[in-house]
Amino acid sequence: MKIKEIFCKSILNKTGISVGDYALNPYTGCEHNCIYCYAVFMKRFSGHKEPWGNFVDIKINAADVLHKQLNRLK
């Protein structure tokens, strides 16, 4: 399991689905590797060579970035 702290540029993303307008993702990756996971496609955006389920990136500046994004949405 590879765990890495990263800085993100955005934390709040439009979903394009009917359940909600935005999603907040404080992490990239997962340690579970569920066979029914809908997020496996996210690996291609992560830059990781490890298989899905073997890495987690923690967005350590998530709170600050969220605050800035929310202010822009007002």
9-54 pLDDT, tens digit per residue, is 999 999 888 888 999 999 999 999 899 988 888 888 889 999 999 9
- Say how many domains are in the chain: 1
- This prediction has a pTM of 0.82
Which tokens sit at 73?
């949405």
Strands 2-6 and 55-59: parallel
Predicted confidence at residue 19, as pLDDT, reads: 87
Q: How many CB atoms lie within 10 A of CB 52?
A: 19
Name the residue range of residue 20's domain.
Answer: 2-73
- Residue 46: CB partners within 8 Å, gap ≥ 6? 28, 29, 55, 57
